[in-house]
Every structure is written in C-alpha cells, then in structure tokens.
Amino acid sequence: MFVGPRVKKKIIFKIALVTFKALDAAPSYIMELIRPYKPDRTRRSSSHNLIALPSFNLKTYSGRSFTVAAPTMWNSLPLELRTCVSLSTFKSKRKTWLFKEAFG
C-alpha cells in the first residue's frame, strides 16, 4: 500500500507526540511500551534522551508496532526536540522541524 509523503509526516507528527507524552506522564500501560536508553557505561549518547530499540523480527508486523516505531522515530529526531521540557515547547518545535523537513 502506498502512503504519500504528507501522510507519513502526519504519522511522524502523531507518534512523536504520543512518545513525548509516554516519556513524561502517561498511563503505566503506555510507559511500559518504551524504555529510555541506559548504557552500561558513560557514553556521549547518555545525555541525548534516546529510547532503547527492542529486538524484533522483520518478517512479522512487529516492526510497525508502537514499541518499535516510537524508538525508531524518536531517536531520529534532533536533540533539540528530544530534550524539550514542556509539552507546548515540544509541539511548537516539532511542527517547525516537520515543516523544514517537508519544504526545506
């Protein structure tokens, strides 16, 4: 099934918002779906607010599930977005970033 670029941007827009909320203050059943990335030793990426990507099988639909799509998309966001503190700031910066990606 073909999904146009505008639809992809809307999907990224929504997944980013749900992921931000899940990391901040969400019901426990959503917070359990994603885990912050915590390396066993100090690395430069330790302060980048990344999410651990679970292992999955490419032959099944698990690659499209929220537990895989959220970390993949979240880790691809710029650091400026991943380190936002408030929801309103995140929404504003996310929208600006997506417009730059689409029309930039």
State residue 89's pLDDT score.
93
State residue 38's pLDDT score.
74
Q: Rounded to whole angstroms, how far apart are CA atoms 55 and 90?
A: 28
Domain ranges of the chain: 5-36+49-94
Distances 2 to 5, 8, 98 between C-alpha atoms, Å: 10, 10, 20
Per-residue pLDDT of the chain (104 residues; tens, 9 = 90+): 566 777 777 888 888 888 888 887 778 887 777 877 776 666 665 557 788 777 776 666 666 788 888 888 888 889 898 888 899 999 999 888 888 877 76
DSSP label at residue 42? -
